[in-house]
Amino acid sequence: MTDLSRTSAAETARLTASGDLTARVVVEEALARITERDPALNAFSVVLGEQARAEATERDAAVAGGATPGPLHGVPIAIKEEIDVAGTVTTFGGEANTTPASADAELVRRLRAAGAVIVGKTTMPEFGAFPYTESASRGITRNPWDRTRTPGGSSGGTAAAVSAGLVPVAIGGDGGGSIRIPSACCGLFGLKPQRGRVTTAPQPHLWWALGTAGPLTRTVLDSAIVYDAIRGNVPTDLYRAGGDEPFVAAAQRGPGRLRIGWTTKPVTLGVKPDPLHVQAVADMARLLADAGHDVREVDPRYPDPTAAFVPQFFAGIRTEADAVEHYERLERRTRETYRLGTWVRQGVIDWALKETEKVSAKANRVFEDIDVLLTPTIAHRPPVVGRLDGVGTVLASLRAMPAIAYAALWNVAGNPAAAVPCGTGPDGLPLSVQLVGRTDDEATLFSLAAQIEQARPWPLVAGDEA
């Protein structure tokens, strides 16, 4: 009998499309796993059991009536709290909104059009402000590999749900590492796409130039399938990416011989990477050299992204806070962050966006000589939960530095970047490296990551042997 907790989205869709399984059976089993396992993790804030069963039944009926199954036919998918799902409150991880969304976000509409079934929404820290999934409203979300550790954030509920085998795919968002950080903590593949690759509708942007949405998955192919289903823009999007190569095709072809530069130098001054992460990069560099790539150490000459990142961080929080129904219900730390960002007026935002262009140009100089940059994904091992307990904005920001030290620059620059699993450490927790690609070149990252996955398979769910 098929163990659906370990079955990829691609295989699940094949089974449902062929008639070997029904969407209803797949969804029922996912809901049963959530009921059984999630109380110990706190990955889900909302479970849409009745709605998901009805949607799965509709999928089965459509195929029985002759409809062509979509690429995600019958696949149960969870959605991060910051993204609209019709009939649910878009909480941003808190209690300040109370009215359910009247329509799906465009991304969710596209998932449904591809045949996916939405089974619930996943936890996040309020407004995704910090890379640890802890909040006054939702409590602490725990890492399936070790429940005393954080799954990272801000897409921590998303990561925990996929890593624990509750769903094969869940959607997160990344404004400073929030897809890659939890992927690294939970042993998942998580690619932040090029800025503008995925629509942010109904919002024109996500934290201005910093944010984008995308899947966290257990396999490279699953990520490619989801991205091909959700990519593209609508007229209201502030940003648009270039290039049109299908990602599924990229994930299924060899990458060719690439010039790969590696470094363990963090962007953030004063942060030291854990020796296990330094070793993971060295091991990956050897693996890639053995695969025939031109691999060498480089100095990326990182620009300082602070002047571009910080104003957009504050502006993103303030924009979302201004739109909630009950400002007074926001967490104390969120309200403190809001007040600390009062200096970020429109003129400052405009200036920061110009700085973004300068930082991007400087950051991309490294790709004059290489095709892909290899770095650690995060500097620290997944910390013990309670990282944000009782601390204000300033201390929370300092505690976030090791998580974002390699990630946030690429939100400012806009480049695609992926967290790729590479085994486990002696502490039993996942190891991860980051692959950064040239502008608009997710395809190379998909091809290279698929090659790594084949050469060094990673666990399908937390605790599995690779």
Which residues carry out catalysis?
80, 154, 178
What is the Cα–Cα distance from 253 to 158, expressed in whole angstroms?
A: 28
- Residues 6+ away with beta carbon under 8 Å from 70: 13, 113, 114, 115, 116, 229
- Buried-state track 240-262, b at ≥16 Cβ within 10 A, e below 16: ebeeeeebbebbeeebeebebbb
What is the Cα–Cα distance from 284 to 271, expressed in whole angstroms?
A: 22
What letter represents residue 352's amino acid? Answer: A
State the DSSP H helix or E strand holding residue 419, giving kind and residue range, or none if neither. Answer: strand 417-424
262: helix, strand or coil: strand
79: helix, strand or coil: strand
CA dihedral 157, 373, 316, 244 (to 10 degrees): -90
What residues pair up with 212 in beta bridges, in sequence order? 174
Contact 180, 402 (CB under 8 A): no
Measured between alpha carbons, how far is residue 150 from residues 299, 357, 403 in Å?
31, 34, 12
State the DSSP H helix or E strand holding residue 421, giving kind and residue range, or none if neither. Answer: strand 417-424
DSSP letters, 188-210, are -EEEEPPTTSB--TTSS-STTTT
